[in-house]
Amino acid sequence: MHARHGSSSQLILSLSNVLGSSISLMVNFTAAGAVVSILSPLSFTHGVLIAGFGTLAYTLWSGFRASILTDVSQLVALMGVAVIIIPWVLFSAGGPEVMAQGLERLTAEQADFFSRTAILEQGAPFFVAVLAYAIGNQTIAQRLFAVRQDLIKPTFITATVGYGGTVIGIGMIGVMALYLGVEPMGGDVNNLLPQMVGSYLPVILVALAFLMIIGSLSSTADSDLSALSSIVMADIYGQSKGRGNANPKTMLLIGRVTMIVATGLALYFATARFNILDLLVFVGAMWGCLVFPVIASFYWKKVTNKAFTISVLAALAVFLPVRFTLIPLTGAWGLFVELLAIVGVGVVLGIMAFGFFGLRPAVIVGTITTLAMLPFGFGYLRDFETLTGSLVAYSVSFLVCYLLSVRSSQNFDFSVIRKITGDFDEENPASDEALAAEDSAARSSR
């Protein structure tokens, strides 16, 4: 981003990643504390501290290598939870017959598979948030560089299907709790998963589930630590010194200090026990301010630094009052926000269409979706401020970035990016062709 636009756009992207990864780190420590407090004699605080210091210790030692290795164990652990733990809980609770008897506990909205409340209060906000995670989350970008170029597509398809199926499977724990009439301990929904595991599994499987869940949380936490350290040491320190002038040892020290500071802050805020799902949706919505400007910057030559910066800041300025209802969504303001949210629906689906089919289908999908939503959005979307705030972030960033760029005379040469970017400690830069030739010669000599 620094090569494409300059320091201001890079700083915005870096700060958003720092904030997002810090919140994600706090979320994982909070979840670990809930698991430990319910499945062991230790308290919530003990669980937070164990997860924090344990993750920090091995990440300081091995860094991104450890993060990649634990990603593999995370997927295996989550699949183990889905394949072993969930069926065992189901049959320990009485099997499908008991679940069928629990239908009488459901409200009309809960019994409706196509419940508008469920879709608009949880499903749609998560859908929008996940799209933004792909662009704003530094940990995903790191994985791109950890995968061989010709295996990126199959790797991400496999991960999407496997992880998506696992998440849906684990979500069934919550469905079973609903059918059984189980209320979360202390009214804290963060406790529901470990509570169900502790209630319906034998001791051996409880211990197995405990290790699986803690391992999965640690894997995500070490990814956030790696992302934070790389942002501070490369995007902040490295760019301030310039390519060829940054000291690799100093960069490594700064990265490790960043991990320690980030862990300390995350441990402190984790004790507040914020709602995990709300925090994840908020981070996704915040990153929604970046999605269109980032994508457009790498496909449209006209996008300028001014357009990128102003569009992101404008989207954030509108998103926050809408998300937290700082200004009541009534009157002209309410209608204006709903219009932006309607445009946001078109932007979200248009971006998805662009990723799969290209520009022309994306424009068609976005336009048709926006027009189709016009009769249904007004007087309705304002009741769902979480979803509306996320959609507004997308629409404002799109409108401002497009309007400031469409008349721009800039004709950016994307080949410049390849020339500017590189390793900070590269003493004798070599072309990709020369490096490939050296690698080929080394392999043939073996």
Q: Is it the case that residue 317 has pLDDT exceeding 90?
A: yes
In a shared domain, residues 71 and 179: yes
- End position of a domain, from candidates 241, 275, 309: 275
Could you tell me if 239 and 334 lie in one domain? no
Are residues 187 and 322 both part of a single domain? no
Does 33 fall in a domain?
Answer: yes
**Is 442 among the domain residues?**
no
How would residue 82 be classed by pLDDT, with cut points 50, 70 and 90?
confident
Write the CATH number for 11.
Answer: 1.20.1730.10
Is the pLDDT at 432 greater than 50? The verdict is no
Query: Same domain for 197 and 324?
Result: no
pLDDT tens, residue by residue, 433-445: 554 455 455 445 4
The predicted model gives 300-322 an average pLDDT of 92
Residue 307 in this model has a pLDDT that exceeds 60: yes
Ranges 261-265, 324-328, 430-434: which has the least confidence: 430-434
CB atoms closer than 10 angstroms to residue 250: 13
Per-residue model confidence as pLDDT tens digits over 5-56: 777 787 888 888 888 888 889 988 998 888 888 888 889 899 999 989 989 9
Q: Give yes or no: residues 311 and 261 share one domain.
A: no
218 and 367 part of one domain = no
Q: What is the pLDDT of residue 409?
A: 85
Q: Are residues 61 and 168 in the same domain?
A: yes
Residue 79 reports pLDDT greater than 80: no
Task: Evaluate whether residue 434 is within a structural domain.
Answer: no
Residue 378 maps to a domain? yes
For residue 141, pLDDT beyond 80: no
* Average pLDDT of span 292-312: 91
Indicate if 121 and 230 belong to the same structural domain.
Answer: yes
Average confidence (pLDDT) over 57-75? 78
> Which carries the bigger pLDDT value, residue 82 or residue 249?
249
More confident of the two residues 333 and 271: 333
- Rounded Cα–Cα distance for residues 23 and 266 (Å): 7
For the chain, how many structural domains are there in total? 2
Tell whether 260 and 331 lie within a shared domain.
Answer: no
pLDDT mean across residues, the chain: 83
Counted residue by residue, the chain has a size of: 446
pLDDT of 277 strictly over 80:
no
Write down which residue in 243, 275, 307 finishes a domain: 275
**Could you tell me the residue range of the domain that residue 412 belongs to?**
299-421
Residue 432 lies in a domain: no
Of 208, 174, 213, 215, give the one whose Cα is nearest residue 84: 208
Residue 426 domain-assigned?
Answer: no
Q: Average of pLDDT values for 76-90?
A: 79
Per residue in 387-414, pLDDT tens? 999 999 999 999 999 999 998 888 888 7
Q: Judge whether 27 lies within some domain.
A: yes
Would you state the pLDDT for residue 429?
A: 47
Instruction: Give the per-residue pLDDT at 24.
Output: 87
Residue 424 is predicted with a pLDDT of: 56
CA distance 232 to 256: 10
pLDDT at 211: 79
Look at residue 86 and tell me if it is in a domain: yes
Residues 303 and 267 in one domain: no
pLDDT of residue 314: 95
Sign, CA torsion 430/434/436/441? negative
* Cβ density class 46-79: b for 16+ within 10 Å, e for less: ebbbbbbeebbeebbeebbebbbebbeebbebbb
Residue 318 DSSP symbol = H
Same domain assignment for residues 330 and 397: yes
In this prediction the pTM is 0.81
Task: With a cut of 90, say whether residue 420 has pLDDT above it.
Answer: no
Question: What pLDDT sits at residue 415?
Answer: 77
**Predicted local confidence at residue 90, as pLDDT:** 87
Which phi and psi (to 5°) does residue 246 adopt?
A: -75, 140
Let me know whether 114 and 32 are in one domain.
Answer: yes
What confidence tens digit (pLDDT) does each residue in 96-112 have? 888 888 888 888 888 88
Mean of the pLDDT values across residues 343-368? 93
